[in-house]
Structure 1
């Protein structure tokens, strides 16, 4: 897509938003073991080609907490928050135009409606409401580009109840990282899943893993109740896996939590 005209950001926003809504409307939710969706070609192909070439430089990413510091003292997880302020302060020219347009599309209430409609069963379950009414639930998106290096892992967890929906878009350049996708788990206390398992993964059975395919998305409604939990995680990235780039659009229950973790 042409990124030079003054109205390019607005054009990108409309192009991306229309395409994403159409792609979301075409997928069927999966209810097992909790409501989630998988979407291919979530961005228009021309936009995806540009964003891969125009990912921010390493220097503008920030490290993410002590739990992602490895024994050698280096971090294995980095974030670039896609706030207007951060984009203005750190990106210029084509990068600024492109990511402003993408940010505005992901922030659009029309996209939130499309995502919530696809995950209405889970959101309805969580709040005890009719799935047809889920768009009455207020939500605030937080957008971040994530960069994870070999050594990164995160044990099975359902996500905090501060989050309503987690929406992850895979951003690999090609299909060489298909095995890096997020894993879906369920509790299983049989000996097979308790013995000889790494700490944090004991008692969990992996039931699915969507491929980390270029321009694909995985989203789920956050459920963290006694009866049901949206367990997901990621086993350690191996040394040959390369950098795992993704975009997280997380819908929070409050505006405050959307701006600070």
Structure 2
């Protein structure tokens, strides 16, 4: 199903969304409007996507069914207040800005039909996870439309409590950073054990991908799979014992608690 979409702010995330929507045939280039202040970026965007590229929100956007706000959070208030001059009451506005609560967005836009979302880094390769919150002003059909847009970049989850977006910021938003830290340590260890850089990357990458895909397809819990691969007095048991003695479980929980707390602080 095609529609008319405007994306305000075309940095990495905004450009990714444009690419995903076009790739999924959710919009065609003649019905896609991008707003970007940087003249060099505007030229590149026009050449890349063949769509309408504007310098600022104009009355042209009033014809779009959906407006996606993808600017940096510190620019959010100014951009939303500009948008408030041109959007119509029936238009759907989706914010992908980190840490800006729905109450603020509604106030800045003077508009009730607003969805707040939290995409993560892997949307850049269309393997992302986006969590979103929509209040009672958003109809079921509009929620389905939002889901369709986000599924073009990976998976999505609608939550019924805006507070869960802070948890999502820590889990799926910061999660890739935590995974990269783990990968970094595994790769470093592999090199110390005598493998080359190329061999280390292969070993770590395939181990992680294979484990995740097995977990995802087996129907078993992570705990069940861990127990299944842990032989009594074996190598896995020896390594896991070190993790347990070092309090790794508590450390992981604490890391996420701190990340959630920081997400809540930033959203105030």
Give yes or no for TM over 0.5: no
For the pair shown, the structure with the greater C-alpha radius of gyration is: 2
Larger strand share, 1 or 2: 1
TM-score class, shorter: under 0.3
State the TM-score, normalized to the length of structure 2: 0.26
